[in-house]
Structure 1
Amino acid sequence: MSEQLSLSAETRDRVGKGASRALRREGRVPAVIYGNKQDPVSIHVEEKALVKALMTGHFFNSVVMVEGAAKSAVRTLPKDVAFDPVTDRPVHVDFLRISEHAKVTVAVPVVFSDEEESRGIKRGGVLNIVRHELELVCDAAEIPEQIEISLKGLDIGDSVHISQVKLPKGTASAIDDRDFTVATLIAPSAMKSEVQEAAAEEAALAEEAAAEHAAEAEATEGGAPEGETAGETPAEGEGEAKGE
């Protein structure tokens, strides 16, 4: 289960660009808590504490208890963090207010194991990860920290689809209308090059054979010089005037 995080916050008396800029100069990040059929609450959190939470690597699939914004801690799920395009510092955060056992949709990172038991990887195959995260629907109190997928027995050309992934009990894929690909095991560049060279050689041979066949057909059907019959030669002296 994903770790539960905590952030201290204070309510904002003023909103707007000017007030937000003033907060950022003081090392605070404006934020809002919304959802669960309650009015939104404007707050601000300490930038250093927020960055530390972001650095855990599982901020967006963790329950964050926001303390100080109400009489009791507010259970939330981070939904969005806006960053400054120049400094890359966080400038605003959105928190979704949730109940303890609410059904939530989260992006959970994927990790792969048992590489040493994959025949394809032993042969030099390369793991092509199509989805680094899975969109999952689960209980807010049971959010998985990560989804582990075994590569045991996989060979070059094999794929891992969502139907093959073992999800925790009570967890389901948010995408349920297709059996999408999570990862594939592809041939290494050297093997690809050999296949491409073999295909090119085969195509060249086929083209050469086709050209030879066309030349033979032309010689058989109408290749003799105009006015002659194929297989015959003009008689000596034919066309010369008598007595010359």
Structure 2
Amino acid sequence: MTEFTTIQASSRAKAGKGAARATRRAGLVPAVIYGARQDADLIALDPRIIVREMHRGGWRSRLYEIDAEGTKTHALMREVQLHPVTDAPIHVDFQRLAAGERVHVTVAITFTGEDKAPGIKRGGVLNIVRHTVEVMADPDNIPSGFEVDLSALDIHDNVRWDDLKGTQSVTPLLQIPNFVIATVAAPTTDDEQTPAAEG
């Protein structure tokens, strides 16, 4: 079952810079929900909610249920504008989800088993090529993350798209067949190290 993170919001009646400034003066962050061939909804959010979600990581693929005074909307958080000096959120864009309309999301990759990988135990270096993958997904099947097990990797081995868990219902945007996610490189040697002179 698809899990949604609920966000409480209040409705905003007016659009425009003046209305947005008034919302910020009230201590809230103006936001808009667009998409799914519907008129945009104007809402206001507690800035602490936005900061919390950004600090959790993976917010670009997290599914939200926005509760604006009883009106509930399923959406993705698309963009957060930050104040250039304070880094406080000053505006948020949400994309409304519609069943059957595939959406573009960025999904984070979780790596496990690094401590068991024989190549790393032998001094190899894990080189993560991609921490995230951009995919197209149905709103009902957006993965919260992909997982990859590194425990069998030896030096010069790699992990590819087909090795990830949780990719069954999505299509990667990268047009490279079975692209590389991570590799284990051979240990680097320090040519500057010279044997100590015998005394």
User: Which TM class, normalised by the smaller chain length?
Assistant: 0.7 to 0.9
What is the aligned partner in structure 2 of residue 155 from structure 1? 154
Q: What's 1:184 paired with?
A: 183
- Say yes or no: does 1:61 pair with 2:61: yes
String of CA shifts for 1:38-89, please: whole Å, max 9, x gaps: 11122211112222233332322121111126x6301111111111121111
Change (3 A) 1:182 1:122: same
The corresponding residue for 2:77 is: 78
For 1:193, the equivalent position in structure 2 comes to: 190
Q: Do the aligned partners of 1:76 and 1:98 also contact (CA within 8 Å) in 2?
A: yes
Higher strand share: 2
Distance 1:137 1:9 in 2: 28
User: 1:212 maps to what in 2?
Assistant: none
SS in 1 for 2:50: helix
Amino acid corresponding to residue 36 of structure 1 in structure 2: A
Q: CA offset at residue 95 of structure 1?
A: 0.7
3-state secondary structure, aligned to 1:43: strand
**Normalising by the residue count of structure 1, what TM-score does the alignment of the two structures yield?**
0.70
SS at match of 1:120: helix
Task: Please say if residues 119 and 155 of structure 2, whose CA atoms lie closer than 8 Å, have aligned partners that are also in contact.
Answer: yes
CA distance in 2, matches of 1:116, 1:177: 29
Structure 1 residue 100 displacement after superposition = 4.2
Partner of 1:108: 107
Q: Distance in 2 between matches of 1:168 and 1:84?
A: 36
Alignment deviations for residues 100-136 of structure 1 (CA, whole Å, 9 cap, x no partner): 4542221111111122331110012221111111112
Sequence identity percentage: 37
For residue 2 of structure 1, report the CA deviation from its aligned partner: 6.9
1:8 and 1:68 in contact (8 A); partners too = yes
**How far off its partner does 1:32 sit?**
0.7
1:51 is paired with a residue whose SS is helix
Q: How does the TM-score come out when normalised to structure 2?
A: 0.84
Counterparts of 1:59 and 1:101, CA distance in 2:
22
The structure whose RCO (Cα within 8 Å, separation 6+) is larger is 2
Unaligned runs of 5+ in 2: 194-199
Match of 1:33 in 2: 33
Query: How many residues are matched?
Result: 194
Which structure: greater helix fraction? Answer: 1
**Secondary structure at 1:127 match in 2:** strand
Are the equivalent residues in 1 in contact too, given 2:43–2:68 (CA < 8 A)?
A: no
Aligned CA RMSD, in angstroms, stands at: 2.5
Q: Aligned partners of 1:166 and 1:43: how far apart in 2?
A: 36
Match of 1:14 in 2: 14
Q: Is the 1:7–1:50 Cα contact (8 Å) retained in structure 2?
A: no
Q: Which has the larger radius of gyration?
A: 1
Partner of residue 48, structure 1: 48
Preserved contact between residue 143 and residue 166 of structure 2 (Cα < 8 Å): no
Q: Answer yes or no: is the 8 Å Cα contact 2:62–2:76 preserved in 1.
A: yes
